[in-house]
Structure formats: structure tokens, C-alpha cells
Amino acid sequence: MLNRRLLRIKVMQALYALEQARSATEQLAIDGIAELFQPDLNSMEPQNKRQLEGYRKLANLLFAEAIKTNQPAEDDDAPKKVLKAANDGLLYYQIRRKKDRQHLAQMMIRQVNGIYESYLQTLLLLPELGQAAQTDSERKYRDVDEKPFSFESTLNDNTVVQALASYQPLRDEALRAGISWADDLGFVRKALREVLKADDTYRAYCAQATHTADEDQALAQYVLRTLIFKHDTIRDHLAEIDLSWAENSEVVRGLAIRTLKSVQSVTGLQLEPLTDDWDEDQLFMNTLFEQFQENNDEFETLLVDQLQNWDVERVAMLDRIILKLALTELLSFPNIPVKVTINEYIELAKAYSTPQSGKFVNGILDNLSEKLQASGRLRKSGRGLLDNK
């Protein structure tokens, strides 16, 4: 399975985007209501602006109440057009919310699958750099100020890089995913010139005409680990391609390293699967995402009760999402220990929210978990019983 923290991050990001979309959708509905009660400048009849403004405010109040209850607005004293405006706004809001929820649930899954595409792109960069190195070694004329370089061998001669270049399954997967460096060869040449050729380890490798299989493996690993994943020039460019590179890179790195090592294995070069149990990973994310939505009102009430001396609305939006996501996991996954869940969401708060959020989330979740256990609502089984006390 994939690292569960990465999956939690993807769900958290999807829920944050959904909350942002909710605010935007609510404002669009309010704008639509306001439009209905604007004076008709083309009418020959006198316009009662004060009355129209009163209708607008009443429609907004009815709409806000309808959102809270998720029920059509009702008010026997309200004019029909005011009631209709509020309920039309509610219908628009509900339809957009449903579409946003479906879209972001799908996007969450696509972003995880995108990790595999980043893995393929990273692997393909090695033979692309090798080809660029070979072309560079064949140049007859060089810049006057170019630093001398020994071309006894190049990255293209490396047996690990050659194995990647000739591995048909890699080419097939890249073609299927539409991945190629063909439109970004300028960057490849820049990476060779500014990163590889400036590196002492790579220069020493190229100064030797022959290499053992272990030396080739060591060089390929070095280029991957130290230059591709750590050098600013390459890392920053990969981050531009994949906006989630910061959290995805660790998984991509692990997959790529194991792939390079497989060149010297008994079975030979093999691509790594993204996960050993995609169904389980997908179920984990979908359960968190959907159960968060289904129980949002209940969790909000739990937070209000817990934060009696706080204005819940002033608690950072991301902190509220993290707290409710932790509650979702505590109550939906009996096999995950309480301490594991709490510690994971403390780390998410530290990494993604405010500097004080880690301690804040820790205190709230400790208290909430104790109350839920005392009430019998929070029950663990199997592995979930570990470290529970």
C-alpha cells in the first residue's frame, strides 16, 4: 500500500478545495439573488428601491437558513418571489455542490495516479540526459570559455541508463500516459550543462573509459538521488511539472531507486507498481472523503462543544478540516490505533497549517478521543487496540 500519510494529505487537500468551492458557490448564489432585486432601468414604472433592498435581504436570510437545514425555505409571510429567489438559490447551490464533490473526489484519485506518471517521467530523464551527453561529446567546436571536460565515457555508456533506454515496457507506459521529454529538450541540455557536467562525481566517472556494473549502478543511483532529487535546477523544474512534487517526490524517489536496482537483479529491469493494493488505498481515501461529508454537521457540533471558549468560526479553516478528518478516521477505521491517527493529524497540522496548529490539534483530539471512548462511540478492534492506552 501507499504511504497512508500521503493519502491523508490528498484527502485533506481535496476537502480544503471543496470548502473553498463551497464559499464561492454560496457567493454566486447570493449574487444571483441580488440580481433578481435590482431596479429595472428599462421599466416605465417607478421603482421602489427600499422595498427591493428589503426583499433582497429577506431572500438572503431565507437562503442562509435553507443552507443550514438543507431544506427548502419556508415563510408564510414572505412574498412568493422572495421565497422563490431563496429556493432557486438553494437549488443552484445544491447542484453545484454535488458536482464539485464528485469532481474533487475524482481529482483526488487522479492526483494519486499522477505519482506513477511522475515516476515514469523521472526514469525517462536518465536516458534523455544520456542522449544529450552523447550528443555533447560529439561536438567538434566548443565555446572558448567552456571548462575542459574528459569524454572517455558519458552517461549514455552507463549500462543502467542503457537498460532504461531500451526497456520496451517503460516506453509503452510512457506512450500510454503521454509522457515525453521531446518538448523540453532545452531543459535537458541545461541540466546536463549546469548540473551533471559541473559535478565532480560525474566528471570523475566520465574521465574513465570503462566501468564495472557496480560502478555503473553507483553512478546511476548518484545522479538520481543527489542530482535529480536534490539539485535546485532539476528539482525546481520537476516541481513546475508536478505541482504536488513536494509531497509526491519521496514516493517517486523510492519507486525509481528500486527500479534502478532491479537492473542487477536476477529477474532484470522491472517497473515498480505504484502500490501493492490499489483497491485498499482507494477505499481508504474514498471512505475518509465521503464520511467526512456525511458526518460534517455532527463533527461541527462536537467541535463547538469542545471549543466552548473559542469562536469556532475564527479557528483556521484548515485546522477545522484536519480536526474533522481526524474524527472521521477515528470513527470509521476501527483497525487504526487512536494514537496513530492523532499523531498523523498533528503532523499534518504542523506541516500545512499555522505554527501553533500542532499543539492546538493535539489538545483537541486528545480530549475528543477520550470523550468518544467514554461514551462508547469510539471502539477499536484488532490492530486498532495497539497503543490505545
Check residue 141 and give its pLDDT.
81
User: Considering 107, 134, 169, which residue would you say is the last residue of a domain?
Assistant: 107
CA separation for the pair 74, 367 (Å, rounded): 39
Say yes or no: 121 and 241 in one domain.
yes
Place of cell 431544506: 71
Q: What is the pLDDT of residues 126-175, one digit of tens each?
A: 999 999 999 999 988 877 777 889 999 999 999 999 999 999 999 999 99
**What is the total count of domains within the chain?**
3
Q: Which domain holds residue 96?
A: 4-107
CA separation for the pair 62, 47 (Å, rounded): 23
Q: What is the pLDDT of residues 72-119, one digit of tens each?
A: 999 989 999 999 999 999 999 999 999 999 999 999 999 999 999 999
Check residue 310 and give its pLDDT.
65
Say yes or no: 135 and 207 in one domain.
yes
Contact 225, 257 (CB under 8 A): yes
CA separation for the pair 119, 274 (Å, rounded): 9
Check residue 387 and give its pLDDT.
63
Residue 281 lies in a domain: no
Helix (H, G, I), strand (E, B) or coil at 3: coil
In the predicted structure, residue 330 carries a pLDDT above the cut 70: yes
Say yes or no: 79 and 152 in one domain.
no
End-to-end Cα separation, the chain, in angstroms: 27
Phi, psi of 140 (to 5 degrees): -85, -35
Q: Is 268 left (phi over 0), alpha (psi -120 to 50) or beta?
A: left
Q: Cα 119–322–325 angle (5° rounding)?
A: 85
Say yes or no: 103 and 134 in one domain.
no
Where does the pLDDT of residue 39 fall: very low under 50, low under 70, confident under 90, or very high at 90 and above? confident
Say yes or no: 68 and 96 in one domain.
yes
The rounded mean pLDDT for the chain is 93
Check residue 379 and give its pLDDT.
87
